[in-house]
Amino acid sequence: MKKITYREAVREGLRQALRSDPRVFVMGEDVGKYGGTYGCTKGFLDEFGPERVRDTPLAESTFVGAGIGAALGGMRPIVEVMTVNFSLLALDQILNNAATIRHMSGGQFSIPLVVRMATGGGRQVAAQHSHSLEGWFAHIPGITVLTPATVADAKGMLLAALKQPDPVFIFEHAYLYPVEGELEEPAGEADIRRAAIRRIGSDVSIIMFGGSLWKALAAAEQLSADGIDVEVVDLRVLRPLDAATILASVAKTHRALIVDEAWRTGSFAAEISAQIMEGAFYELDGPVGRLCSVEVPLPYPKHLEDAALPSAERIVQAVRSLMPGERPRP
């Protein structure tokens, strides 16, 4: 085991991929000379050269589309879209090409493309740099959507994604990059089919992904002091969704709170809630709860941003409201 930051774990994964497979190359805005906006490709230009570490113009649609084309042409591109906010400029390529071509061509073409991007709010960078849109991507059949929350997943999911014959989108919560964790050595590929139980509990399941993991674990500790035994389910993979793990947890605890940093209306949390209704309705002792962001463009000042985002404290309150004797909050 070694202590390592999430950023370093991503970087290790990328370096390992570049070293082990000549078809792998990295492409995106400022991945070369700058070293990556979040430092994930620092030093790569010197180590791997400009053919394999490609700074692109600010043209998201084109460099994501070029990643699709390069994957069709036999490469294993890793495209870094600086943040999910800018991925909106590439949605046409993602939805209309990456996600459709295999099926629409009758299975003739595969697109082994990996796209990484930072996501999420909480860093006082205001509305246009704070979106949480993983749920939108998870709506799209034909792609895989990963949300690594730990250092092991940050590295291992990337390595696993590169083995996939179809497009994989990895959402790295920007808040996590400096967070340290324990990484086993040698750390290999991570499973990208299953959710993980990050904390075993018996009274209530907190179901979440990505940047909400540490908030959920902190809330669980607080609740534990009050005698509420929380199970924390880290979805890890939003598509294909591991419903079995969710349903098994709910069947055990009989209560569920879903934490999702996206807006509540039409959120991925709504999908999880629906899956629980369909698959574990009779296991429930009360309504499923959702804790999402307040439906505003995320504001810049800390007090307002904090008021809009799920927090450990708000998770604690939401869990308490689900417990016997409490009236569910609207």
User: What's the one-letter identity of residue 323?
Assistant: M
Q: How far is the CB of 52 from other proteins (least distance, A)?
A: 8
Q: How far is the CB of 94 from other proteins (least distance, A)?
A: 11
| Contact region with other proteins (CB under 8 A), list: 92-100, 220-228, 252-260, 278-286 | 92-100
Restricted to residues 144-163, the positions that interact with other proteins (CB under 8 A) are: 144
Restricted to residues 253-282, the positions that interact with other proteins (CB under 8 A) are: none
Residue 165 as a binder of other proteins (CB under 8 A): the answer is: yes
Distance CA 128, CA 100 (A): 28
Active site residues: 60, 129
Residue 192 as a binder of other proteins (CB under 8 A): the answer is: no
- Which residue of 51, 185, 186, 327 would you call a contact of other proteins, by CB under 8 A? 51
Say how far residue 35 (Cα) sits from the centre of its chain: 22
Q: How far is the CB of 30 from other proteins (least distance, A)?
A: 16
Structure tokens at 29: 């805005």
- Which residue of 20, 96, 128, 202 would you call a contact of other proteins, by CB under 8 A? 96
| Interface size with other proteins, residues (CB under 8 A) | 43
Residue with tokens 């492409």: 27
Q: How far is the CB of 67 from other proteins (least distance, A)?
A: 6
Q: Do residues 103 and 142 make contact, with C-beta atoms less than 8 angstroms apart?
A: yes
Q: Do residues 193 and 157 make contact, with C-beta atoms less than 8 angstroms apart?
A: no
User: What's the one-letter identity of residue 322?
Assistant: L
Residue 91 as a binder of other proteins (CB under 8 A): the answer is: no
Residue 68 as a binder of other proteins (CB under 8 A): the answer is: yes
Restricted to residues 98-137, the positions that interact with other proteins (CB under 8 A) are: 101-110
- Name, in order, each residue with C-beta under 8 angstroms of 186's C-beta and a sequence gap of 6 or more: none
- Which residue of 30, 37, 42, 61 would you call a contact of other proteins, by CB under 8 A? 61
DSSP 28-63: ETTSSSS--TTSTTTTHHHHH-TTTEEE--S-HHHH
Backbone dihedral region for residue 266 (phi beyond 0: left; psi -120 to 50: alpha; all else: beta): left
Picking from 112, 163, 166, the residue whose alpha carbon sits closest to that of residue 140 is 166
Instruction: Give the per-residue contact string, 71-90, with other proteins (x = CB under 8 A; - = no).
Output: xxxxx-x-------------
Q: Do residues 38 and 177 make contact, with C-beta atoms less than 8 angstroms apart?
A: yes
Residue 69 as a binder of other proteins (CB under 8 A): the answer is: yes
Coil, strand or helix at 268: helix
- Which residue of 83, 87, 97, 205 would you call a contact of other proteins, by CB under 8 A? 97
Q: Which is nearer to other proteins, 107 or 330 (CB)?
A: 107
Residue 56 as a binder of other proteins (CB under 8 A): the answer is: yes
Q: How far is the CB of 262 from other proteins (least distance, A)?
A: 24
Q: Tell me, what DSSP letter sits at residue 281?
A: G
User: What's the one-letter identity of residue 228?
Assistant: I
Q: How far is the CB of 143 from other proteins (least distance, A)?
A: 9
Angstrom CA distances, 32 to 11, 48, 58, 99, 107, stand at 13, 10, 14, 28, 35
- Which residue of 14, 31, 45, 64 would you call a contact of other proteins, by CB under 8 A? 64
Q: Do residues 298 and 308 make contact, with C-beta atoms less than 8 angstroms apart?
A: yes
Residue 21 as a binder of other proteins (CB under 8 A): the answer is: no
Residues that bind other proteins (CB under 8 A): 25, 51-52, 54, 56-57, 59, 61-75, 77, 92-93, 96-97, 101-110, 141-142, 144, 164-166
